[in-house]
Structures are given as structure tokens and as C-alpha cells.
Structure 1
Amino acid sequence: MWKNKKFIFCILFVSIFFSSESFSKTVKDIVVGKVIIHPFAQDQLEVGSNICGSQHSSPSASGPHIRNGVRINIANHVKIGAIWDFGPAPGGQMRLFEGAASYTGLKHFQFSVGVFNPSFGLSSMQPRGDSIFPERASVATITRGLAAGANRQAVQALFYGNYYHLAISGTAGTAGPGKDGNQRAIVFRSVILPIHTQSFLMHIGISGEWVFQPSHKSSMAGGVSFSDTPENGDGLNDKYIKTGNIPAKNAGAFGLEGAIAWRKLLLTSEYYNLIVNTKTNSRINRQNFYGWYITAAYTLVGEPRAWKSTSASFTSPSCDQKVPTFCHGTGVIELATRFSQMDLESSDVSGGKQNIWSVNINWYPLDIIRISMDYSHTKYYQKENYRDSDSILSMFQVYF
């Protein structure tokens, strides 16, 4: 862990530099005529380890998400995002996180092109700065990575309002380092709010993606693969659940999402079925995988999470006193728990099965700073192989 002291110091220095003015006020936009420039920072430092079980690890530190840039609004008609991902630190690959232009001059519509995260799934559309847990549930990570994750080259048409969100996208490969540059897919999402009152909200949606041209090298057939590290990012690089490459003719993921917000309580859940069609000896075989999660979050101090129509997701909790520092003298506090399951076992593929139960506390001493503490219990099964572990993860995040 001491090898990472220099890295930890650099992360903290960058975070303080970006937020120095925010100890007295929120980071302000830069306004030049009809152009509004919004600085963007999403920098995380995580320290975690497995504390007991069949998998032990020493405490380790990393910066899994270090992203900085700007978002520009021109006369409320054009939005431009320019954000650079400095890669997981230490030693990660740098790449373009967002480089997109959107036309918003037509009411209730938004048309986007470039490198961005197309609309798919509730958890996927919550930026990491607004996420309830430091890391997404495995089913969200795996499904979005198929055709709708970050760094994705895409075009999108979005129709949205106070009670609905409908998006359809065409996606290609990821920008920068990667092996899916020649992939082609269609992604869609539809969300409605059948009930929306001052104290109660119901969110119902469906999402789907279909890869009709899997990524491939010139000398190899196309293929897809599914894998994920433990959800709490406990410092291990091991991917317990992993299928390896599956030679695929096509593949997709389809699922349901739902949420109920009542006063300061928020319940969210998603379920997805993954389909991979493989071709062997002129015969089509279908592999089916599935995963789901359910989350409960309660805002103990502060204003609860609010729904955003442009992303059909929920913001971070905020201070109900309209001050950026130490709401009610303590800061905003949120408690959460989550249970998730990911099953990558099928007739021909054995990628393992994972169950994870987690509890988490989020503390926002300032409006742009978040400190989290997460405990997770993981059970992993693959044929006769069984592992279990208990892990703790702490996170320091600057997000604006």
C-alpha cells in the first residue's frame, strides 16, 4: 500500500485544486455571452480489502475513475461535452470519456453524436457521482458493456419530458484502447412515470440492446465476453465471474427497470436477460444468462434524490437548506443496502454465479465532496468451486 503514497497525494492535490473555491460556494459556471461553460470533475480515490473468507487481500489504494473536462452550452441550442479519462490509476490507459455534440433547440428532443454513454438502464444512466454505491451492480456493468457503456461511439435520438423518456441509439465500438471498434448495435430505452406526486414517484422502464455485428479481428470470427470484478472494488483485479470469449453470430440484453421514491426512501431494481447466439457446424445454439439487483436508499439528513428527465435517473441527495457546506451542521447523510445476483452459467458456458449483499453509508460534507464506506459479503459458485468473502471499501470522491 505504501507504494501508492505518491499516487494518493496527487489525487488529493488535484481534488483540492479543483474544489478550492467550493469550500465557500458551489463551483460556478463560466458565462461568456450566450455560451455557458461548466467545469467537470469526477475523481475517485478508493481504499479497500477483503477482511475474511476464502479470499484475503492486503489493503490497497487505487483511483478507478479520474475524469476531468468541460461541458458547454451554446445559446440553449447546442451542448458539447469534452471530458478526458486519465485511466484507472496507477498505470491505467488514458482515453476519451466524452466527446459529443447534442442539438437541443427543439423542445422535448435531443439529438446527439460522438463518444458518449447512450441511454440504457437506470443504473447505467446514473453518473458515478450520483450513484448510490461506489460501484454498480455486476448486471449493470456487464449489460452496459455489451453495447451501451461509456466511451461508446454512438448516435442517439431522445424524446423526454417531466413524466417520460424515450431513446434509440446506434452504437459502434469504444473510443481509444479496445477490441470492439468494428462492432455495430442498436440500443433503446423507454421510461414512464405513471405516478408522480410531491411525496411519491413510480418509475417503470424497459431497455434493450442488440449487437448484430460483434467485434472481430480480420483473421477471427466475431465474439463477445462477459466478466466483472467484485462489485465493491475491493482492490482485487480477479474477475470471479467470467465467460471468456464466446464466438457469437449476434448477442443482446433485454430487461426491466423500476423505482419507487416515497419521501426520503428510494427503492430501485433492474432485471436483465442476456442472449448469445453461437454458430457451430451450421447450427445455431442459444446461450442465456441473467442478473438482477434491488437497492434501498434512505436520506437520513438532507433533501432526497430527485428524478431527472434527460437521463431518467436520480440525482445525489442534496442539502434542503440551500447551502453547499455541512447541511444541518453534519452534512448530507444517506444509508443504503443492495442485494444482487449475476448468473453466467448456461448449457455450453460456465462463467460462474455470484450473489452479493452490501450496505453503504454516503456522507456529503460539501456539495461536491462525497465520502463512502461500503461493506459487502460475496458468494461465488462455479460447478464445484465455491468462494466467499467479506470486504470493506472506502471512497473519497470529488464530483461536479
Structure 2
Amino acid sequence: MWENKKFIFCILIVSNFSDSDAFAKTVKDIVVGKVIIHPFAQDQLEVGSNIHGNQHSSPSASGPHIRNGVRINIANQVKIGAIWDFGAAPGGQMRLFEGAASYTGLKHFQFSVGVFNPSFGLSSMQSRGDSIFPERASVATITRGLAAGANRQAVQALFYGNYYHLAISGTAGTAGPGKDGNQRAIVFRSVILPIHTQEFLMHVGISGEWVFRPSHKNSMEEGVSFSDTPENDDGLNDKYIKTGNIPAKSSGAFGLEGAVAWKKLLISSEYYNLIVNENKNSRINRQNFYGWYITAAYTLVGKPRAWKPTSASFASPSCDQKVSTLCHAMGVIELATRFSQMDLENSDVSGGKQNIWSVNINWYPLDIIRISLDYSHTKYYEKENYHNFDSILSMFQVYF
């Protein structure tokens, strides 16, 4: 299986870069009459290890995200996404990543149905290609996984413009392998830009999701669970923070998101409160957890991140010249730091508490290639257990 995935990955790389002209321009769309076909690739290779502390590990390599397909625009009226996830390598399960159709013929509106990532949260809506760090903060990963993550079967109505974004979705389970096929939930997000000038932008939003029918398997009781690997994943997939299954009647996550962009500096943050209405001895017992992060990113070389109305998120930095190779003879360069906290502890559930501080550098030698180097310091607490370790992660990414 892994040999086949490596072969597919190599073919994609060679097909996109074997022609020397590909190094001088963005991957071109295919235009047939009123149909525009945009090839899609989101392929990552990560190498990392825990280098100091009581959780030392040897260097390991993985391909956590290998996704390829097309997005099609028909007469600026209908958009279709067809993207296949080849599974995390080695050993990951293949599945449909995106299989959705959207009607965009009504100005400022977009109606979508199928398998896609419904609008929820700032970090969640920044694609892997636009993300500041190789991996999202734990609070973003955990909350989006509840009812609004990738591979999610959903319907959505979106109303957006240059200064606002309002979306409401109904979601079910994930496509392909998963345990939440019979889950049902409602998801919403509202974002405005109260200040927007040539040099300064302020982003303010709220997001929420409510699972009114948690997933369950045949004879198993309905329930939810929260867990995540360290944000700077060492490739071992060890999940330090984890609640296990919590029998639940309903569950949700509600939070605030904000960002300010000034010239080449972007500061963003999110806070979420997770709620679980637990079935316990025929009574409803409410469990509460929380998490947050704050990120600062500075574009050292190139054009800073720009706000995108359709996703209400920030695109990757780009070249401020009309070239896509080695902008200013050195490529686009971005520096970033992040602090995050995830708390899955309360009186009845001991899922652990995690604090992570990270620094990162992103280098874009081409407009479709990113190379990242990330260092993080993790502290993890669970009752009497304490872990303290440093990690380093490098990432090579092809994204277009």
C-alpha cells in the first residue's frame, strides 16, 4: 500500500515539475469554453522528532496529507470539487476529501452540498496550504473534528462580501472510514471586518456547532471524544490529551475569533468552550472544557497575507513582484510564533492539559512550494503525570 502511495506521489511531483517552464509560472488552469478546470494538489512530507525531555524519540518521516484532484468552475454559476485523500503515509486510510457542488450564480451567495469542510473557525478555514504552521493548534483540531472538519457530509448557505462572512450548515458524518456516520449537527459562523484600510485590518467573528445527535455504533451508547497529537507531531501519533468516549446526549463548541493585520504583521487568536451534556445514571451532567491560541506572523520578504471573503481567512504570503520563482532573489519568507493551551480536565473527566509554545519559519522558493522549520516546547499535565519536551519538525509541501 505505502509503495503505491509513494509511486503516486512521485508521479505527481514529476508531472508538475519535469518541464522547466513549470518553475517559472503558476500551474495553469485548463479552460474549455466556459468550463475552467483547476488542478489541485496538497501534498506534505514531514520529518521530525522530540529532541529533549522525558519523551525523547528518534527522527521519523511521514506524509500526513496527500490529497489530489480538481476543482471545476462552470460558467461562474456552478463549482464542483473532486479531491481524493490518499491517506496519511505510511498506513493511512484512503477516503474522499472533497466531493461537493456549489451554486454561485447569485451575487454574494454560495449554496453547497456534498462532502466538504463547512465554515467554522479561523484556523479551520485556512487550508493546509495557507496555514501558518505545519499543524493547527490543538483547540482548532479538536473543535473542528466535532462536527465541522474535512470529509464532512454537509449542506451550507453562505452570504459573503469584502467585509463580512455569514454561514450556516447542517452536517452529518464523515465520508469513508469513521465512527460518526449517523451523527447530526448544526454549524454556524459570523465574521465582520469593522476596520479595513490599505494598511490595517481588523477581523472579528463567532463560531458555534451543536451536535444534537452524537454518533453511535449499533449497541454502543451515543458519545463524543476529544483527543489530539502534539501540534508539532513527531510522526508517532501519540495522543497525550484524550478524554476517551463520553456518553452524551448532545455536545457543542462555541467561541470567538479575532485578528489584526498591520502592514506585514498578522496577529490572530481563537478561544473555544466545549460542552458535553453527559448521560449519567439517567441524569444529564454537563461537562465543560476549553482551549485557545494566539499567533503572530510577520512576512519578512514578499507580500503579506490577504483576507479571503469566501473563507473569511488569510491566504499565504505571496510575491509582491510579477514573478513566482525566488521573489526578490530569495523567495517569500515568513516568521511566526504561537502559544496554545488545551484543557480537557474537570472533576469527572481527566483528559489532560497541554501548553505549547512554537516558533516557525516558512520559505516559499516557488509560489507552489513551501518549506517550513518548526520548533516547539510542550508541557503536558494529567493528574500526577507530567511531560516536558522539545520538538523539531521540518515540512516540504506542494500546494496549488
Query: Do the aligned partners of 2:301 and 2:332 also contact (CA within 8 Å) in 1?
Result: yes
For residue 268 of structure 2, what is the amino acid of its counterpart? Answer: T
Deviation at 1:11, TM superposition (A): 4.0
Deviations 1:242-262 (A, max 9, x none): 000000000000000000000
Q: 1:280-359 alignment to 2 at 5 Å?
A: 280-359=280-359
Query: Do the aligned partners of 2:252 and 2:275 also contact (CA within 8 Å) in 1?
Result: yes
Query: Do the aligned partners of 1:30 and 1:38 also contact (CA within 8 Å) in 2?
Result: yes
Structure 1 counterpart of 2:84 = 84
Task: Give me the whole-angstrom Cα distance separating, in 2, the residues matched to 1:251 and 1:372.
Answer: 36
Deviation at 1:24, TM superposition (A): 1.7
Deviation at 1:6, TM superposition (A): 9.9
Task: Give me the whole-angstrom Cα distance separating, in 1, the residues matched to 2:348 and 2:23.
Answer: 56
For residue 140 of structure 1, what is the amino acid of its counterpart? Answer: A
Q: 1:205-284 alignment to 2 at 5 Å?
A: 205-284=205-284
Partner of 1:124, secondary structure, is helix
Deviation at 1:217, TM superposition (A): 1.3
Task: Give me the whole-angstrom Cα distance separating, in 2, the residues matched to 1:275 and 1:138.
Answer: 16
Structure 2 counterpart of 1:15 = 13
Task: Give me the whole-angstrom Cα distance separating, in 2, the residues matched to 1:14 and 1:103.
Answer: 30
For residue 17 of structure 1, what is the amino acid of its counterpart? Answer: S
Task: Give me the whole-angstrom Cα distance separating, in 1, the residues matched to 2:348 and 2:232.
Answer: 29
Structure 1 counterpart of 2:119 = 119
Deviation at 1:12, TM superposition (A): 5.0
Query: Do the aligned partners of 1:8 and 1:45 also contact (CA within 8 Å) in 2?
Result: no
Deviations 1:216-256 (A, max 9, x none): 11212100000000101122211000000000000000000
Task: Give me the whole-angstrom Cα distance separating, in 2, the residues matched to 1:5 and 1:298.
Answer: 39
Query: Do the aligned partners of 2:230 and 2:239 also contact (CA within 8 Å) in 1?
Result: yes
Deviation at 1:279, TM superposition (A): 1.6
Structure 2 counterpart of 1:388 = 388
Task: Give me the whole-angstrom Cα distance separating, in 1, the residues matched to 2:77 and 2:4.
Answer: 43
Deviation at 1:286, TM superposition (A): 0.5
Query: Do the aligned partners of 2:5 and 2:86 also contact (CA within 8 Å) in 1?
Result: no
Alpha-carbon distance change, 59 to 8 in structure 1, aligned in 2, over 3 angstroms:
farther
Query: Do the aligned partners of 1:165 and 1:312 also contact (CA within 8 Å) in 2?
Result: yes
Alpha-carbon RMSD across the aligned residues, in angstroms, is 1.3
Alpha-carbon distance change, 20 to 166 in structure 1, aligned in 2, over 3 angstroms:
farther
For residue 341 of structure 1, what is the amino acid of its counterpart? Answer: Q
Partner of 2:27, secondary structure, is coil
State whether structure 2 residue 203 is matched by structure 1 residue 203: yes
For residue 334 of structure 1, what is the amino acid of its counterpart? Answer: E
Alpha-carbon distance change, 6 to 186 in structure 1, aligned in 2, over 3 angstroms:
closer
Partner of 2:123, secondary structure, is coil
Deviation at 1:81, TM superposition (A): 0.1
For residue 353 of structure 1, what is the amino acid of its counterpart? Answer: K
For residue 231 of structure 2, what is the amino acid of its counterpart? Answer: E
Structure 2 counterpart of 1:28 = 28
Query: Do the aligned partners of 1:377 and 1:390 also contact (CA within 8 Å) in 2?
Result: yes
Task: Give me the whole-angstrom Cα distance separating, in 2, the residues matched to 1:375 and 1:182.
Answer: 39
Task: Give me the whole-angstrom Cα distance separating, in 2, the residues matched to 1:89 and 1:172.
Answer: 27
Structure 2 counterpart of 1:161 = 161
Task: Give me the whole-angstrom Cα distance separating, in 2, the residues matched to 1:19 and 1:345.
Answer: 48
Query: Do the aligned partners of 2:95 and 2:177 also contact (CA within 8 Å) in 1?
Result: yes
Name the TM-score, length of structure 2 as normaliser: 0.97
Task: Give me the whole-angstrom Cα distance separating, in 2, the residues matched to 1:9 and 1:392.
Answer: 27
Deviations 1:57-97 (A, max 9, x none): 11010000000000000000000000000000011100000
Structure 1 counterpart of 2:397 = 397
Report sequence identity in percent: 87
In structure 2, stretches of 5+ residues that fail to align are: none
Task: Give me the whole-angstrom Cα distance separating, in 1, the residues matched to 2:350 and 2:280.
Answer: 17
Structure 1 counterpart of 2:193 = 193
Alpha-carbon distance change, 213 to 6 in structure 1, aligned in 2, over 3 angstroms:
closer
For residue 127 of structure 2, what is the amino acid of its counterpart? Answer: P
Deviation at 1:281, TM superposition (A): 1.9
What count of residue pairs does the alignment treat as equivalent? 397
State whether structure 2 residue 142 is matched by structure 1 residue 139: no
For residue 246 of structure 2, what is the amino acid of its counterpart? Answer: I
For residue 302 of structure 2, what is the amino acid of its counterpart? Answer: G
Deviations 1:319-349 (A, max 9, x none): 0002110000000000000000000001210
Query: Do the aligned partners of 2:29 and 2:36 also contact (CA within 8 Å) in 1?
Result: yes
Structure 2 counterpart of 1:43 = 43
For residue 148 of structure 1, what is the amino acid of its counterpart? Answer: A
Structure 2 counterpart of 1:181 = 181
For residue 55 of structure 2, what is the amino acid of its counterpart? Answer: Q
Task: Give me the whole-angstrom Cα distance separating, in 1, the residues matched to 2:276 and 2:348.
Answer: 11
State whether structure 2 residue 107 is matched by structure 1 residue 107: yes
Query: Do the aligned partners of 1:275 and 1:288 also contact (CA within 8 Å) in 2?
Result: yes
Alpha-carbon distance change, 331 to 6 in structure 1, aligned in 2, over 3 angstroms:
farther
Deviation at 1:16, TM superposition (A): 3.5
In structure 1, stretches of 5+ residues that fail to align are: none
Query: Do the aligned partners of 2:24 and 2:323 also contact (CA within 8 Å) in 1?
Result: no
Query: Do the aligned partners of 1:326 and 1:332 also contact (CA within 8 Å) in 2?
Result: yes
Task: Give me the whole-angstrom Cα distance separating, in 1, the residues matched to 2:223 and 2:295.
Answer: 32
Query: Do the aligned partners of 1:303 and 1:318 also contact (CA within 8 Å) in 2?
Result: yes
